Amino acid sequence: MSTNEGYHFHEATFVDQNGELKTTKIPVVQELAARQDHFPKRFIASSPPLIIAAANTLPPVIDIAKLQSDCSRKAELRRLAEAAKEWGVFLIKNHGVEAVVLDDVKEVVKGFFGLSYEDKKANVGSFKSVDDMGYGKNFVKSEEQPLDWIDRLTMKAAPPVVTTCTNTNNIDGLSVWPQKPGNFRQAIEKYVEESRKVLDGLLQDLAESLSLDHQNAFLQHFEPEQSEIKVRVNYYPPCPRPDLAIGLMPHSDASGLTLLLEFGATRALQVLKGSAWTTLEWPNDNNNTLLLVNIGDLMEIMSNGVLKSMWHQVRTKLDAERFSVAYFYNPPPQSSIGPVVVGGGTSMYKRVVVEDYVSNYYKISPTTSKEAIMYARLG
Ligand SMILES: O=C(O)CCC(=O)C(=O)O
Ligand SMILES: [Fe+2]
């Protein structure tokens, strides 16, 4: 922990362009927001968000109950294929994850960010790894780069880990589960377990909706014991300069699929559609149970580019805070994945080992355009 004029800093370690391990100090955004009197220049985004120009749009909503009913399945599969191809992102409803499970997640996340900085730090493994785990920041690679207006916490939720007394390092994210609130891990793990069934079903539905040869074309890569799930809890405090700062810089997710739960402020997540940023608007939902699914890079590869990972960013708000829980679902790190090519078509992507793809993604991020995927692109 370090302080300067009463502020605390995250220490982010990164490998610089010369291959040297460096550490930089990042202000804790939540504390800056609380003081309201200081907007450091490091938070001026390289392309400030176009607040007025971006249109609000409702993304497609896929009804999981309709996918499960014989009489409506066909039509809903068509809608699913269209949403996944045209948008790379869609909301799901009637997914079966109970509202109480989602409410518990919201409560523990708010509880964690409600702790003092000292309490957060004391209760979470520190952010030393270059693999973006723990309580800290994403994509920090230099002293000079613009910083996101975000505090976040990343944990590995699967495969399940047996922790031993000697296993106390945090390099692989195993010891970064917060001890407070007391039920934090339990609430998130319950959510992960329940929503995993939904994602497995969707992997089958996506394969069928794209008329692939067999329903398990995607799901077969997600071996139940070894597939990896990382959960990133994002907190975007109110920001004095939403015209200058960005909550989360533009990126695609390296994942197979990402499942996102948002709460607090709305209309913050933006996707690049064509050449224009579009702000996603959640339709009215009295129970607040809608979840967002987005296509990640690994799914783009597996689908041979029929599905494209979504390029997205998050805006900040002047007077409202926002939380999101992003759940990244990946095949086992050491497995290799490749494109499913139908009807004598051409492979547009090569086979890649999942952990090689992900480590290259972290090595080159942040990027100003969708560059990481070039690692797997052919031609
Ligand atoms: O907060 C959001 O809506 C998006 C978060 C996100 O894109 C991420 O964590 O990768
Ligand atoms: Fe993302």
| Closest CA to ligand 1's atom 3 | 269
> Dihedral of the CA atoms 146, 150, 151, 154 (nearest 10)?
-90
Most confident of 101-110, 280-289, 341-350: 101-110
Ligand nearest to the CA of 138: 1
Q: Which atom of ligand 1 is closest in space to residue 292's alpha carbon?
A: 3
Alpha helices in the chain (DSSP H): 29-35, 64-67, 70-86, 99-113, 117-123, 184-209, 297-302, 354-364
Q: Which atom of ligand 1 is closest in space to residue 294's alpha carbon?
A: 7
ipTM surpasses 0.95 = yes
Mean pLDDT of 349-363: 95
| Closest CA to ligand 1's atom 5 | 326
Q: What is the mean pLDDT of the chain?
A: 89
Closest CA to 67 of 79, 58, 59: 79
Tokens, residue 101: 């499970």
Most confident of 117-121, 166-170, 326-330: 326-330
Most confident of 252-256, 263-267, 342-346: 252-256
pLDDT confidence of residue 250: 94
Pocket test for ligand 1, best of 153, 248, 322 (most atoms within 8 A of CB): 248
CA of 327 to the centre of ligand 2 (A): 9
The fraction of the chain above a pLDDT of 70, given in percent, is 90
pLDDT confidence of residue 1: 39
Pairing mode of beta strands 151-158, 134-136 = antiparallel
Q: Which atom of ligand 1 is closest in space to residue 326's alpha carbon?
A: 9
| Closest CA to ligand 1's atom 9 | 326
- pLDDT digit string, tens, across residues 134-177: 777 667 778 888 999 999 998 889 987 655 544 444 444 456 78
Q: Which atom of ligand 1 is closest in space to residue 234's alpha carbon?
A: 1
Tokens, residue 301: 């590869």
Q: Is 213 exposed, middle or buried (0-12, 13-18, 19+ CB in 10 A)?
A: exposed
pLDDT at residue 284 greater than cutoff 90 = no
Q: How far apart are CA 16 and CA 36, in angstroms?
A: 32
Of residues 356 and 142, which shows the higher confidence score?
Answer: 356
Half-sphere exposure for 254 (CA within 13 Å, toward CB)? 28
